[in-house]
């Protein structure tokens, strides 16, 4: 009997310990689900794109209409967001990203800075068409004045598609934006389980889900079961350590990109200068080479005060110094990102040496 009583009291001890353990491990999760006001506040700024796009059938993944769903409709389509953050939506534009203009960029960047200056905002997510997503992300990377996370996301399949990727990408983007670990990484691009830097991530495929890649530089991290795992960081200067101040800008200087190819000519450069370009990015062949057919026009543009930057059309690699060619070196920036940096650089200086330093540092 004694033995049984002891056995019984042991059993009760275990039961009580188990109950306490359950209470301790369940309480934080329950507190989260019952106290949404304790969750971090993430602002979602919608600009359009496929993530807000609709098509005529669930199998149609091209030729659909981007930028249809509103910011509120996007947020309502992912109820799980409410378990991660208090989310609020705002519409900045509702366009396919081929129609993102300098005016939209400035409006978006100013709003991101306003929001991040609010103590109650933990981070910002921007939803965007994927075609020029990297340009907007890099622009924000250079002008956001905060260490708080800013995440740009989109989708490759419209909201109506079977296995649409938008809801999962939005959930992952909000997860990263709400995560304290994500601070200080510069602006991030989150799609398809990957966390990439705005500086290095680029769209590599026009139709595949697995399109955003960091090329030579890889990713900042990965999401597994909606948990972000950061593994690397970017050494380039961004956000709070750049001199760019969008609060004082109402427009951006014209910078055009001219593509290099066999038998090209100088007329595209002449046209850009005649149109008012203050800067030209050469999307040169190989490591930024310029043909003999184009060099007279490029030299003429430089003599007229236009800042020319050499970049590569190959999708990778650094542009080296080469006495055969003219213009500043675009580091390993692709042409579209070199254009973004050159526009901002020209808002602060026309001095080629200072702009060259920025091209290497940012
Ligand atoms: N061209 C559209 C855009 O960039 C659709 C591409 C996309 O979002 O994936 O907004």
Judge contact between 102 and 251, C-beta under 8 A.
Answer: yes
Q: Are residues 235 and 274 in the same domain?
A: no
Residue 115's domain comprises 37-241
Q: What is the mean pLDDT of residues 130-152?
A: 98
Distance CA 87, CA 91 (A): 13
The DSSP H or E segment spanning 221 is: strand 221-224
- From 241, 265, 295, the end of a domain falls on 241
Task: Please give the model's pTM, rounded to 2 decimal places.
Answer: 0.90
- In ligand 1, the atom with minimum distance to the C-alpha of 131 is 4
The model's confidence at residue 10, banded by pLDDT at 50, 70 and 90, is: low
CATH number of the structural domain spanning residue 135: 3.40.50.1170
- Average pLDDT value for the chain: 92
Residues 237 and 296 in one domain: no
Closest CA to 231 of 270, 277, 196: 196
Whole-angstrom distance, CA of residue 69 vs CA of residue 324: 51
How many folded domains does the chain comprise? 2
Is the pLDDT score of 31 beyond 50? no
Regarding whether 325 and 263 lie in a shared domain, the answer is yes
Query: Rounded mean pLDDT of 11-38?
Result: 50
Place of tokens 């491990």: 25
Annotated active-site residue in 50, 127, 130, 239 = 50
The CATH number given to whatever domain includes residue 274 is 3.40.50.40
Which segment of 54-58, 130-134, 225-229, 241-245 scores lowest on mean pLDDT? Answer: 54-58
* C-alpha of residue 263 to centroid of ligand 1, in Å: 32
Going by their DSSP bridges, the two strands 212-213 and 202-203 should be labelled as: antiparallel
Could you please report the per-residue DSSP string of 250-290?
S----EEEEE--TT--THHHHHHHHHT-SEEEEEEBTTTB-
Same domain as 107, residue 188: yes
Residue range 265-310, pLDDT digits in tens:
999 999 999 999 999 999 999 999 999 999 999 999 999 999 999 9
Query: Could you give the CA distance from residue 166 to residue 128 in angstroms, rounded to a whole number?
Result: 11
> Do 227 and 268 sit in the same domain of this protein?
no
Residue 50 among the catalytic residues = yes
Give the pLDDT band of residue 33 (cuts 50, 70, 90).
Answer: low
The predicted pLDDT at position 331 comes to 98
Best mutation site among 51, 96, 192 for ligand 1 pocket (most ligand atoms within 8 Å of CB): 96
């Amino acid at each position: 009997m004694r033995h049984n009583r002891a056995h019984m009291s042991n059993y009760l001890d275990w039961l009580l310990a188990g109950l306490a353990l359950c209470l301790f491990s369940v309480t934080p999760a329950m507190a989260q689900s019952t106290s949404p006001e304790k969750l971090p506040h993430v602002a979602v700024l919608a600009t359009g794109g496929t993530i807000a796009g609709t098509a005529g059938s669930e199998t149609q993944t091209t030729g659909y209409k981007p930028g249809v769903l509103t910011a509120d409709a996007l947020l309502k389509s992912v109820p799980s967001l409410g378990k991660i953050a208090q989310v609020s939506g705002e519409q900045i534009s509702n366009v396919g990203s081929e129609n993102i203009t300098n005016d939209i960029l400035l409006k978006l960047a100013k709003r991101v800075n306003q929001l991040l200056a609010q103590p109650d905002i933990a981070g910002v997510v921007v939803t965007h068409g994927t075609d020029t997503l990297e340009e907007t992300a890099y622009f924000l990377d250079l002008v956001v004045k905060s260490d708080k996370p800013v995440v740009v996301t989109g989708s490759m399949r419209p909201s109506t598609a079977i296995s649409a990727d938008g809801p999962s990408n939005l959930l992952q983007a909000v997860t990263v934006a709400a995560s304290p670990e994500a601070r200080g990484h510069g602006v991030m691009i989150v799609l398809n389980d990957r966390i990439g830097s705005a500086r290095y991530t680029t769209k590599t495929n026009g139709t595949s889900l697995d399109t955003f890649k960091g090329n030579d530089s890889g990713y900042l991290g990965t999401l597994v079961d909606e948990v972000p795992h950061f593994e690397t960081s970017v050494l380039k200067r961004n956000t709070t350590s750049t001199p760019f101040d969008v609060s004082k800008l109402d427009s951006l200087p014209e910078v055009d990109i001219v593509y290099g190819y066999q038998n090209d000519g100088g007329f595209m450069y002449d046209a850009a200068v005649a149109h008012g370009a203050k800067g030209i990015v050469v999307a040169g062949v190989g490591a930024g080479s310029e043909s003999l057919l184009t060099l007279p026009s490029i030299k003429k543009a430089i003599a007229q005060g236009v800042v020319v930057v050499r970049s590569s059309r190959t999708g990778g690699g650094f542009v080296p110094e080469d006495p055969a060619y003219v213009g500043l070196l675009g580091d390993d920036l692709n042409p579209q990102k070199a254009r973004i940096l050159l526009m901002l650089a020209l808002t602060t200086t026309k001095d080629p040496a200072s702009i060259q330093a920025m091209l290497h540092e940012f």
